[in-house]
Amino acid sequence: MHPPVYLAFTTCSSRDDAERLGKRLVEERLAACATVVPGAVSFYRWKGEMEHADEAMLLLKTTGPALAGLEERLIELHPYESPEFIAVLAESVSETYGTWVAESVEAPILPA
């Protein structure tokens, strides 16, 4: 049986930023997989003003034990002042996929 699997979401200002961030988090074994979804459009309030931005969505797959480390590192690396980090527990995960996710983040490589 594998540990709980989470899907974490963030947005980035460009596809390149999302790719760099996702690759780094996978290399550091904090996420098993990073999927970049370009073409997101966000509407939000920031510092009292209505804003609009073209962004790329970054979806990260990880485990419960690695979730706090993923959040901490994402916030550290992300160029936004207040980056989005939303994690959702996957209600149903195939045994083989869940095992692969767990093996992929089993021994995180933390930066020096």
Output the pTM of the full model.
0.91
pLDDT at 81 over 90: yes
Residue 63 is predicted with a pLDDT of: 95
CB-based contacts of 16-24 (< 8 A; 24+ apart in sequence): 17/56, 17/79, 18/56, 18/57, 18/58, 21/58, 21/74, 21/77, 21/78, 22/58, 22/60, 24/77
CATH class of the 5-87 domain in this structure:
alpha beta
pLDDT in tens, 25-55: 999 999 999 999 999 999 999 999 999 999 9
% of the chain beyond a pLDDT of 90 = 91
Residue 27 is predicted with a pLDDT of: 96
The ranges assigned to domains in the chain are 5-87
